[in-house]
Structure 1
C-alpha cells in the first residue's frame, strides 16, 4: 500500500504544485504515494460556504470554525484511520528530520492547512491534532507548510530517491550538517577541489568529510551538538 497524504484546505487549487514535480512528482506518478486534497468549504452549512467567524473575546481577524473543520476531518479520516493528524501552525513543534522519518515509516498523514488567525482550540483537542511548525515565521496559510512536510516525507519513501544512500549522508542524518560538496571543474576561479577528495583514499575522504561536517555544525548549528558526547575523533 502506498503512502497516502490527505490535505484539508480552502485552496485545493494550490496542489499538487511543486509536489507534482521532481522526486515527489515522479513518486506520485509511479504510485509510490498518493495525494488526496479536499476543500474544507465543502463541509460548510451556509450558502456562503463560510469556514470562519469572529474570535470569541474580540480581536482582529477571523478564526476557523470547529464544527466545519470537524466534519471535514471526520470525512477524510474516519474511525479506524490511524494516520497522524497534523495542523500546520506557527506555535507547533519544530519540524525535524527524525520526526519526518517516523512519519515516512507510517502509512500516511492527514494535514490541515489553517488560515486566518488560527483554528478553534476545541477542534485541536477534540480531533487530536498535532501542531507542527516549519520555522519561526508566519505564513499566509498552512498550504506551503503542508507541502514542505509532504516533500520532506515522500522523498524518504522506498524507490523515490534514485540512490537511497543519499538520505544517509545528507544534513541531519547523523545529527550534523552535511559536509561540503564539490564537482567539476577541478579548478573554479582559482579555487581547486580539496586534494583529499581526488586522492582515491576512501578512509581519508571519510575522515575529511566527518571533520568538515563537524566544523560546519559547530559554526552554524551548535544546538545540534548540545548534549552530544564528544569523542576523541571529534576534537
Structure 2
C-alpha cells in the first residue's frame, strides 16, 4: 500500500494514505456509497501496519476545536462503523503505545504532534474552521500546561492539504482570520477580483511558533491535494466525498 511517511523518530510511526493502491480507490471514510470497500481498505491498511482495527481509533469530525485523550480501551471505536466513533472531536492524543490515532482529510490539513519528553502523540484535523479557531494551538497548549510537555521537545507535522495558491477565501473567512490571536496579515493575499488566497499551513505553523515550538521541529508537507491529483482526493477540485487519513502511533 502506498503511504507517505512522516519520518520523525524511531519510537513513532506516522503516515498519510493515498487515493489509490494498484488501481483500487482507497477511500478511508464511511460515506454511505462504498462502505464495504472502505472497511476492506481499512483492514488492508491495518495489515500493512502489522496492526488491527481494534488498535485504531477515529472520531466523527465536525470542524470543532474540541479534543480528547484516548486510551487502549477506545481501540476500535469508529473503525467498523461511524456509530461508535467519538462524536464531535477533531483531535485526539494518547500516551498509550501501539494505538493508532486517525484524522480524516481531503483538502483540510492533518496535523500530528509528538511530545518526545512525555511520549505523547496527537492527531488533529484542522479545516479552515479549526484553523481560525486555533485548534492546533489549543491542543498544544493543553499538552504544555496540563501534560508536562516542554515546547523544545515537541515535534509537529503539517500534512498534505490545499496550498495557498489554490485556497480562495472570501471576506467571511478572512474576517475570522483577522480575529486570530496573532498578526495574520502575511498569511493572506488579496486578488484583483477581491477574493483572497489563504495560507492555512502557514497559519497552523504560526500557532505552534507562538507556543515556542522550534521552527526546526516543524515539518510542513510540500504536497498540495489540489495539484497532486494522482495521490490525493480533493473536495474543492472535484467534489469528491472520499477521504484519506493521516495517522500516528507510539511504538
TM-score (norm 2): 0.28
With a CA cutoff of 8 Å and minimum separation of 6, indicate the structure with the bigger relative contact order: 2
Structure having the larger proportion of residues in strand: 2
